Amino acid sequence: MSLKKVALIVFLILLVDQVLKVYIKTNFYLRESIQVFGLDWFQIFFVENQGAAWGVELPGKYGKITLSLFRLIIAPVIGYYLYKSAVNNAPKLLVIALSLVFAGAVGNIIDSLIYGSIFSESTTSQIATFMPDGGGYADPLFGKVVDMLYFPFIQDAMWPEWVPFLGGKTFTFFNAIFNIADMAISTGVGILLVFNKRVFPQDEKDNKVVA
């Protein structure tokens, strides 16, 4: 796959991810939700998190800075591997998967790196503004990641009584709230896992039995 196509994939993912995040951040109250096409199981639900993909968090201030620095280190490594794979004519699926993971990583890095400096705080009673007079809500690297995609396919269901610890309790499936960057990362990793043999083909000579 050519570098131009790789750049286009990364650019489009980043564009959609950031445009949606900025729109949500500047038009929604925190935890505000709307149904898409009137569907209960497809909602825009605005939340923010301090952590990694799918809302995973590391506790405390040092947890946040550690995660942000890790992102800043790992993203260039993925980008370099992506570049080498593209120029060396690696399998197309590998290049696509790496493009998705790289774009997703950069998308969430942007939130952590600059959102705290360019937006005011989002609350349940206040919509954030861009470049507020009093400055942003956090220092660089301490920005919160914007999430908004919510697909609660099964809501207020109840675990059977015989299920240990959970019996009789209600649950929602699927209750994760995520963003386009998270989707890109998950899809890329999924491709690497599901199509492992096509993504990392073994050299035929490695499969020959030496007599």
Q: How far apart are CA 51 and CA 48, in angstroms?
A: 9
Which residue in 147, 156, 203, 206 is the catalytic one? Answer: 147
Our answer to whether residue 147 is catalytic in this structure is yes
Q: Identify whether 182 is a catalytic site residue.
A: yes
pLDDT at 57: 60
User: In the prediction, which pLDDT does 63 show?
Assistant: 67
- Given the residues 139, 156, 182, 206, the one annotated as active site: 182
Question: What is the pLDDT at residue 163?
Answer: 85
Q: Average pLDDT across each block of 10 residues of the chain; the chain has 211 residues. List them in order.
A: 94 98 98 94 92 57 74 93 94 96 95 95 97 92 93 87 86 88 95 90 53 39
